C-alpha cells in the first residue's frame, strides 16, 4: 500500500518546516515506507495565487489523500482583508470541511531539553501531558458574528462586535469519548477544563462530560476552571495526565503548555475525525518574524509527521524511530536558536532536518 500524503506548507515558515518533515519521511522510504507526496496551496499563498485562502482543489486533494501534513498559515500583510479572505480562515475551513474535531496536543519535556524551559527543571522534568482540544465548534465557529450597531443595552447606537460561544451535545460527547479513551491508554486521569461558574455553554460541557464519564469508571475525572488551570499548568504541571477542553481554551492552554517544554517549535499536533483521517501540524503559527531566514525549529513538524504514522497508519515502529532520531539530535546534535544553549552547535532549519535524517 502506498500512503498518499497531501502536503500544505502555507505561509511564513510553513514551507521551510514542512520541507524538513518531508525529508525525514523520504528518508524512511529506503527502509520500506511506501509514501508519496502531493503539494497544495493554502492560506496567504493561495490567496495571492487564486484569490481565496482555501481553494476547492485543496480540500479535494485532502479528501483524496490518506492524511494531510500542514505547515502554518498567517500573513500580517493580509490582516486588513475581510475576515473570510484572511489566511487563518483556511485552517478553520479545512478542519471543518474534514470534520477534524479531535485535536491531540501532547506536551512532553525531553530529558535532553529539561534546561530549556523558563521554569525550574524540577517543575517540568519528566512532564508528559496531553491536551485534547475540541476543534470544530465553540466561539471560533459561532454564528452570527461581526460588526454592527448595538440595538439595545447601555451602549445602544454604538458600534459593537460579537461572537457566539456554542456547543451541541453531540460535539461534546464525541470529544469526551476521545479524551476518556486517550486517558485509558495513558495514566487514567482526565481533567475537563471549563468556565462553568460563568458561562452557560461550559456548564453544559461539564454536565455532558460528567455523563459520558459514567461509561469510563476506570478513568479518574476531575473538573477545573480555565483560569485556575492556566495557573496550575505553571505551578505544578505534572498533576495533569489528559486535559480535555473546548476550542478557545484549548488554543490558549496549549500555547501555554508549549512553554513548559522550552519552545513552541517542539510541539506537534494531530487533528482527527471519526475515521482517524488526520491533519498533522505544529501547534505554532507562521512566525513571520523569522520566516525565510532558516531560523525556525522544524522539530514540531517532524514530530507531527511521526504522529501521522502512529495515529492514521498505525505504523508505531516508524513513529518511534522518528521520535528517537529527534531525541538523539537533542542529546548530541546541533540546535536551532529557540532551544540553543552554550556548548551546543547552532544550526538552521535545514541543518536540523539533515541532522534528524542522519540520526535515523
Ligand atoms: P507564532 O506561533 O507564529 O509565533 C509566536 C512566536 O514563536 C514568534 O516569536 C515565533 O518566531 C516563535 N516561533 C513559532 N514557531 C517557531 C519555530 N518553529 N521555531 C522557532 N520559533 C518559533 O504566533 P503569532 O506570531 O502569534 O502568529 C503569527 C501568524 O501565524 C499569525 O498570522 C497567526 O494568525 C498565525 N497562526 C497560524 C496558526 C496555524 O496555522 N495553525 C496557529 C497560530 C497562529
Ligand atoms: Mg494557537
Q: At which of 206, 235, 261 does a domain end?
A: 261
Q: Which residue range(s) make up the domain with 236?
A: 117-140+169-261
- Report d(CA 1, CA 66) in Å as an integer: 11
* Shared domain check, 272 and 360: yes
Residue 16 CB less than 6 A away from ligand 1? no
DSSP 8-state code for residue 83: G
- pLDDT at position 145 is 67
Give the containing element (helix H, strand E) for 94.
Answer: helix 88-97
* Shared domain check, 358 and 327: yes
* Shared domain check, 271 and 257: no
Give the CATH number for residue 175: 3.40.50
For residues 332-337, give the mean pLDDT.
95
* Shared domain check, 276 and 219: no
| ipTM of the shown complex | 0.98
Mutate to test the pocket of ligand 1, among 259, 264, 279, 336 (most ligand atoms within 8 A of CB): 264
Q: Kindly give the number of the ligand 1 atom that is closest to the alpha carbon of 300.
A: 18
Q: In the numeric block, which cell numbers belong to residue 10?
A: 502555507
- pLDDT at position 162 is 85
Longest alpha-carbon distance in the chain: 68
* Shared domain check, 212 and 324: no
* Shared domain check, 359 and 319: yes
Please tell me the total count of domains within the chain.
Answer: 2
Residues 250/134, Cβ–Cβ less than 8 Å? yes
| 163 in a structural domain | no
- pLDDT at position 255 is 87
Q: In the numeric block, which cell numbers belong to residue 226?
A: 480555565
| 146 in a structural domain | no
Q: Which residues surround ligand 2, an ion (CB under 5 A)?
A: 251
Give the CATH number for residue 342: 3.40.718.10
Q: At which of 198, 229, 261 does a domain end?
A: 261
Residue 78 CB less than 6 A away from ligand 1? no
| 89 in a structural domain | yes
Q: In the numeric block, which cell numbers belong to residue 248?
A: 478557545
Q: What angle do CA 89, 92, 93 make, to 5 degrees?
A: 80
Instruction: State residue 240 phi and psi, 5-degree precision.
Output: -95, 150
pTM of the predicted structure, to 2 decimals: 0.93
* Shared domain check, 227 and 345: no
| 34 in a structural domain | yes
Residue closest via CA to ligand 1's atom 37 equals 285
- Report d(CA 323, CA 311) in Å as an integer: 14
- Closest residue by Cα to residue 187 from 247, 127, 270, 143: 127
DSSP assignment of 9-32: EESTTHHHHHHHHHHHHHHGGGGT
| 157 in a structural domain | no
Question: Which 3 state secondary structure label does DSSP give 98?
Answer: coil
Q: At which of 217, 236, 261 does a domain end?
A: 261
Alpha helices, DSSP H, located in the chain: 14-27, 44-50, 56-64, 88-97, 121-124, 169-185, 200-213, 226-235, 247-261, 299-311, 316-332, 349-359
Residue 128 designated active-site: no
Question: Which 3 state secondary structure label does DSSP give 236?
Answer: coil
Question: Which 3 state secondary structure label does DSSP give 303?
Answer: helix
- 124-139 pLDDT, tens per residue? 999 999 999 999 999 9
- Strands annotated E in the chain: 3-10, 35-39, 67-72, 102-108, 128-134, 146-149, 159-162, 189-194, 220-225, 242-245, 268-272, 278-282
Residues 88/74, Cβ–Cβ less than 8 Å? yes
| 162 in a structural domain | no
* Shared domain check, 244 and 275: no
Residue 50 designated active-site: no
- 130-177 pLDDT, tens per residue? 999 999 999 998 876 667 888 899 999 999 888 899 999 999 999 999
The torsion of the CA quartet 307, 312, 316, 317, rounded to 10 degrees, works out to -90
| 222 in a structural domain | yes
| 359 in a structural domain | yes
- 9-55 pLDDT, tens per residue? 999 999 999 999 999 999 999 999 999 999 999 999 999 999 999 99
* Shared domain check, 238 and 306: no
- pLDDT at position 116 is 78
* Shared domain check, 246 and 322: no
- Closest residue by Cα to residue 298 from 6, 3, 5, 9: 9
Residues 297/287, Cβ–Cβ less than 8 Å? no
For residues 281-300, give the mean pLDDT.
97
Greater confidence (272 vs 112) lies with 272
* Shared domain check, 101 and 128: no
Residues 164/197, Cβ–Cβ less than 8 Å? no
Residue 72 CB less than 6 A away from ligand 1? yes
- 219-249 pLDDT, tens per residue? 999 999 999 999 999 999 999 999 999 999 9
- pLDDT at position 339 is 93
* Shared domain check, 249 and 301: no
- Report d(CA 50, CA 236) in Å as an integer: 47
Amino acid at each position: 500500500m502506498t500512503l498518499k500524503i497531501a502536503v500544505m506548507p502555507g505561509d511564513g515558515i510553513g514551507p521551510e518546516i514542512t520541507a524538513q518533515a518531508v525529508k525525514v519521511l523520504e528518508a524512511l522510504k529506503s527502509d520500506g515506507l511506501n509514501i508519496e507526496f502531493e503539494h497544495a496551496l493554502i492560506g496567504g499563498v493561495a490567496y495571492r495565487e487564486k484569490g481565496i485562502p482555501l481553494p476547492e482543489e485543496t480540500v479535494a486533494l485532502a479528501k483524496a489523500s490518506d492524511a494531510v501534513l500542514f505547515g502554518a498559515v498567517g500573513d500580517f500583510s493580509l490582516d486588513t482583508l475581510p475576515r473570510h479572505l484572511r489566511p487563518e480562515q483556511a485552517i478553520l475551513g479545512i478542519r471543518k470541511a474534514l470534520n477534524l474535531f479531535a485535536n491531540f496536543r501532547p506536551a512532553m519535556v525531553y530529558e535532553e531539553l529539561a534546561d530549556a524551559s523558563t521554569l525550574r527543571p524540577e517543575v517540568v522534568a519528566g512532564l508528559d501531558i496531553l491536551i485534547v482540544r475540541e476543534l470544530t465548534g465553540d466561539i471560533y465557529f459561532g454564528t452570527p458574528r461581526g460588526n454592527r450597531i448595538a440595538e439595545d443595552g447601555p451602549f445602544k447606537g454604538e458600534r459593537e462586535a460579537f461572537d457566539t460561544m456554542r456547543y451541541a451535545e453531540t460535539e461534546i460527547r464525541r470529544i469526551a469519548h476521545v479524551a476518556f479513551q486517550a486517558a485509558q491508554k495513558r495514566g487514567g486521569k482526565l481533567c475537563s477544563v471549563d468556565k462553568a461558574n460563568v458561562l452557560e455553554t461550559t456548564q453544559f460541557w461539564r454536565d455532558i462530560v460528567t455523563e459520558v464519564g459514567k461509561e469510563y469508571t476506570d478513568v479518574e475525572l476531575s473538573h477545573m476552571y480555565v483560569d485556575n488551570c492556566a495557573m496550575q499548568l505553571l505551578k505544578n504541571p505534572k498533576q495533569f495526565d489528559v486535559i480535555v477542553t473546548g476550542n478557545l481554551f484549548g488554543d490558549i492552554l496549549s500555547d501555554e503548555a508549549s512553554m513548559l517544554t522550552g519552545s513552541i517549535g517542539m510541539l506537534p499536533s494531530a487533528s482527527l475525525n471519526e475515521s482517524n483521517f488526520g491533519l498533522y501540524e505544529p501547534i505554532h503559527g507562521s512566525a513571520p518574524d523569522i520566516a525565510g531566514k532558516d531560523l525556525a525549529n522544524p522539530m514540531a513538524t517532524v514530530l507531527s509527521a511521526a504522529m501521522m504514522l502512529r495515529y492514521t497508519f498505525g505504523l508505531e515502529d516508524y513513529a518511534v524511530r522518528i521520535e528517537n532520531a529527534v531525541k538523539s539530535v537533542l542529546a548530541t546534535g546541533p540546535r536551532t536558536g529557540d532551544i540553543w544553549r552554550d556548548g551546543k552547535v547552532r544550526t538552521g532549519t535545514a541543518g536540523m532536518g539533515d541532522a534528524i535524517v542522519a540520526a535515523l
